[in-house]
Homo-oligomer: A and B are copies of this chain.
Amino acid sequence: MAYFDFNGKKIYYEIHGEGRPIVLLNGIMMSTLSWKMFVESLSANNKLVLLDFFDQGQSDQYTEEPYNQDLQVKALKALLDHLNLEAPALAGISYGGNVALKFAVTYPDYIDRLLIFNASAKTGDWLKEMGQSWIMSAKDPAHFYNTTIPIIYSKMFYDGKSKWMQERKKFLVDNIFNNKVFLDGIIRLIQSADDYNIEDEMSKITAKTLIVASQYDPITPFSDQKQLHDGIKDSELVILPDCGHATMYENPVLFTTLILGFANSKFEGLKI
């Protein structure tokens, strides 16, 4: 419900509730709107900060060069400075997980807790090619849908929520994936992740960290989460069975449980 200026570009953000700050970063096709059903729960006892990255939702498009995830990290840092949050928990999923990880590597003392869902330490050749496929499909709404959605949602979710999926398909194809501004933004966002790589910097992260893996996530598979867990000193790893890449929608109850439980608990003395 507010805009923040970063280098002459607008970042849209929202603040909900009061309490220990939780900053929650979007996946690539998401926006602050995507968290609608979570806002009540996540802001009941916390100051929940949501934002749209450049090229998402109500933030500005970013068409200049250079543009990679470091830019999103810098804009996020400036916003957090501006908001003057105390010891925030930083959470992110997928693209937002990368940005959160890069932020934690760059400004380790800034955050108190780090929560990573379905992210990885590097955009390798494999993921880059998958990204190319998304970009190349972006000319046609149905094509873009078929290329991205069955990779993002698990088969179990499709089968269990087939009516919702059918309605969502219609909505996305008719209203979102035919929007050139949206698609151009997605393309730039995909490209902005191409050179992401914190493989050699994970040890810089000092915040207590939670890594969440989903059993059926083909984009950031379990091995990616294991690599993060092995590389980040003070980290915990949890697995959600029968869940795909879109953890927040496939299992909103566990997503909320893990965010609030990990961001809000005192862990002092919990050590053997």
A-side residues, CB < 8 A to B, are 37-38, 40-41, 44-45, 124-127, 129-130, 132-133, 136-137, 140, 142-143, 145-147, 149-151, 153-156, 158-159, 161-162, 164-165, 208, 210, 215-216, 218, 221-224, 236-242, 249, 251-254, 256-262, 264-272
Residues of chain B within 8 A (CB-CB) of A155 are 124, 126-127, 221, 223-224
Contacts of A129 in B (CB 8 A): 145-146, 149-150
Q: Which B residues lie within 8 Å of A210 (CB)?
A: 257
Question: Shortest 10 CB-CB distances between A and B: which pairs?
Answer: A261-B261, A218-B218, A257-B261, A133-B146, A126-B158, A252-B270, A239-B239, A133-B147, A132-B146, A136-B143
- Identify A256's interface contact among B136, B224, B270, CB under 8 A: B270
Of A44, A129, A165, A271, most buried by chain B (CB within 10 Å of CB) is A129
Choose among A165, A222, A270 the residue with the greatest number of B CB atoms under 10 Å from its CB.
A270
Bound-complex Cα distance A39 to B129 (A): 31
Asked if B239 and A238 make an inter-chain contact with CB atoms under 8 angstroms apart, the answer reads yes
* A241 CB, nearest partner CB in chain B, Å: 6
A242 to B239, CA, bound (A): 11
**Contacts A136-B140, A147-B147 hold; do A126 and B261 have CB atoms under 8 A apart?**
no
